[in-house]
Amino acid sequence: MHPTPSAPAPRNYPLLLTGQFLGAFGDNFLLAAILGPLTYAINTGRITEAKVNGENALFGLVFTLPFIVLAPLAGYLNDRMSKTLWLTGGNVLKLLGTFTGLAAVYAYPGDASHTLQVIGYTIVGFGACIYSPAKYGILPEILPRERLVKANGTVEMLTLVAIVGGLAGGGILYDNTLSLPLCYTVSAGLYLAALVCNAAMTRTPGNTSAHFGRSVREFAATFVAIVRSPRLGRILLGSALFWFAGSTLKTALQGWGLMVYTEAGVTNVTNLKLVLLKLGLVAGIVAGSVLAGQLHKIGDLSWARRYGTFMAAGFLGLGLLGGHHGLTLVVLVLILTGAAAGLLIVPVNAALQSESDPTTVGKTVAIQNFADCIGIAVGAAFLGFLTKQGLNPHQSLMVLGGIVAAITLALRVVGFDQRKA
């Protein structure tokens, strides 16, 4: 049996969506501002492409590290206490991390603030770690089961719109002001607005019988059970594959975009111009996420292998293409690649949530975050390895396409696309 909404609270869902949008917007607004100076540094020859990739990987890793280290605790907290409480608590931690970075750039202008900015963004990652299981785990508590696929699609769509909007906003603000303190201040305002939305939600019940020691054992047992399940284990792997590929592409995108614009004859590349490439990818993911909610019922993964294959082909295409063929073709391939990714991840998310034990939804989502963040960390490290081996961004994306294709083939062998009986 699956849980039903415990009490009528029609405002909870729109407040959840608004808070999620603002929080995700803030995460990416802040990241774009922190990485913004790299675009100008590489344009003037002060740093290399390897440095750009290294900084992208570093901030990506410190943001995801809490998801890996604290996965059992995050699941316990979201099972034990009201999920609305931890939505609010996650934004409190994000505010703390933002103020840490803000204090750093005020006190230590230039490169001297780097270490404290890394610490600050790590704290933001801790906030996201607490927030993420709650934002997904609360959906079965406030919505009927038949709305879960569309609700997941809506959450993913808004998150992706927030990602590109935040990246654009942070890039534009830094391009026009070259002021990190101002960017940090705006980020704090976004997190504060998200906090207000979550605090205004009608409180949902917790599970007071949950205990940490038992929760850790249950987390491990749930993880083992999911991995051993022929279907759920493949669903978890499919989700991690999506984030591995996305992390590698995201980490490479700044250096790859600079190369594409250079090949197209564009000079004086700004952060906004790089965001325009990301917009094509995210537009595709948004379209794919919306279509997934319309095309697939809960548990229908019959097209999962095809979407994985299309995604791999997209990466290969991006690697083979350059700016020499024009930016229009590059953006078109980005859109198609994103659409395949969106069509893959939304049914996978909904299937994992709906088919897992409904009494441990928080742990299930935390386990998914755990696996996804391992995929993200591996993706960032993977690009770093390829960069050290001397591969340029085009070659790295071709290798990524080959890896995704190989994993998709392996999933086909074990029957990833079988329908739930």
First to last CA, the chain: 16
Gyration radius from the chain CA atoms: 21
Going by the DSSP 8-state scheme, the letter that residue 203 receives in this structure is P
**Could you tell me if 362 and 172 are in contact, meaning their C-beta atoms sit under 8 angstroms apart?**
no
Q: Which residue has the tokens 């959450």?
A: 155
- The predicted-structure confidence for 117-168, as pLDDT tens digits, reads as follows 999 999 999 999 888 878 877 777 777 777 776 777 788 778 878 887 898 8
Mean pLDDT, residues 260-273 taken together:
87
Q: What is the DSSP letter of 138?
A: T
Are the C-beta atoms of 277 and 331 separated by less than 8 Å?
Answer: yes
d(CA 211, CA 209): 6
Model confidence at 185, in pLDDT bands (50, 70, 90)? very high
Place of tokens 């990241």: 31
Backbone angles phi, psi at 321, to 5 degrees: -80, 155
CA atoms of 347 and 334, how far apart (whole Å): 21
Tell me if 180 sits within 8 A of 174, measured CB to CB.
Answer: yes
- C-alpha 166/C-alpha 359 separation (Å) is 35
Contacting residues for 201 by C-beta, under 8 A, at least 6 apart: 9, 11, 12, 15, 16, 19, 84, 87
The answer to whether 175 and 270 are in contact (CB under 8 A) is: yes
Residue appearing with tokens 């939505």:
87
Residue 411 has pLDDT above 50, yes or no: yes
pLDDT at 113 over 60: yes
Quick one: pLDDT band at residue 405, thresholds 50, 70, 90?
very high
**Each residue's pLDDT tens digit, 41-79:** 888 878 877 788 888 888 988 898 888 888 777 767 777
Across the chain, mean pLDDT equals: 84
Rounded CA gap, 237 and 370, in Å?
A: 11
CATH 1.20.1250.20 fits 12-413, yes or no: yes
What does the alpha-carbon distance between residue 344 and residue 303 come to, in Å, rounded to a whole number?
Answer: 8
Residue 313, phi then psi, degrees to nearest 5 = -60, -35
Is pLDDT of 169 > 90?
yes
Name the range with the highest mean pLDDT among 4-8, 157-161, 250-254: 250-254
Burial track 333-363 (b if 16+ CB lie within 10 A, e otherwise): bbbbbbbbbbbbbbbbbbbbbbbbeeebbbb
The C-alpha atoms of residue 153 and residue 351 are separated, in whole angstroms, by: 12
3-state secondary structure of 269: coil
Question: Please, where are the H alpha helices in 108-211?
Answer: 114-137, 139-142, 148-177, 180-199
